[in-house]
Amino acid sequence: MLLVENLTKSFGSNTAVDRMTFEVDRPMMIGIIGRSGAGKSTFLRMMNRMTPASSGRLVFEGTDVLQLTGGGMRQWQSQCAMIFQQFNLVPRMDVVSNVLHGTLNRRSTLGTMFNLYPTEDIHKAIDILDRLGIADHAAKRAEALSGGQQQRVAIARALMQDPKVILADEPIASLDPMNAQIVMDALRRIHDEDGRMVIANLHTLDTARRYCDRVIGMRDGRIVFDGSPAQLTVGVARDIYGADETFSESATSTEIREHTGHQARVPA
Ligand SMILES: Nc1ncnc2c1ncn2[C@@H]1O[C@H](COP(=O)(O)OP(=O)(O)OP(=O)(O)O)[C@@H](O)[C@H]1O
d(CA 129, CA 153): 7
Residue 103's pLDDT band, with cuts at 50, 70 and 90, is: confident
Sign of CA dihedral 105, 107, 112, 118: negative
With the most atoms of ligand 1 within 8 angstroms of its CB, the residue from 14, 172, 207 to mutate is 14
pLDDT of 261 reads 39
Mean pLDDT of 222-236: 93
Q: H helices within the chain, ranges in order?
A: 40-47, 70-79, 95-100, 109-113, 119-131, 147-160, 177-194, 205-211, 234-241
d(CA 131, CA 185): 12
pLDDT in tens, 2-20: 999 999 999 999 999 999 9
Which pTM value belongs to this model? 0.89
pLDDT in tens, 173-184: 999 999 999 999
Q: Please check whether residue 228 is in contact with residue 211, taking contact to mean a CB–CB distance below 8 angstroms.
A: no
The complex scores an ipTM of 0.96
Question: 171, exposed or middle or buried, with CB in 10 Å at 0-12, 13-18, 19+?
Answer: buried
Q: Supply the mean pLDDT for the chain.
A: 89
**Minimum CA distance residue for ligand 1 atom 16:** 39
Q: Please check whether residue 167 is in contact with residue 199, taking contact to mean a CB–CB distance below 8 angstroms.
A: yes
pLDDT of 251 reads 58
pLDDT in tens, 185-197: 999 999 999 999 9
With the most atoms of ligand 1 within 8 angstroms of its CB, the residue from 7, 9, 10, 11 to mutate is 11
Pocket of ligand 1 (CB under 6 A): 11, 14, 16, 34, 36-42
**Domain 2-252: CATH superfamily, name plus number:** P-loop containing nucleotide triphosphate hydrolases (3.40.50.300)
pLDDT in tens, 40-89: 999 999 999 999 999 999 999 999 999 999 999 999 999 999 999 999 99
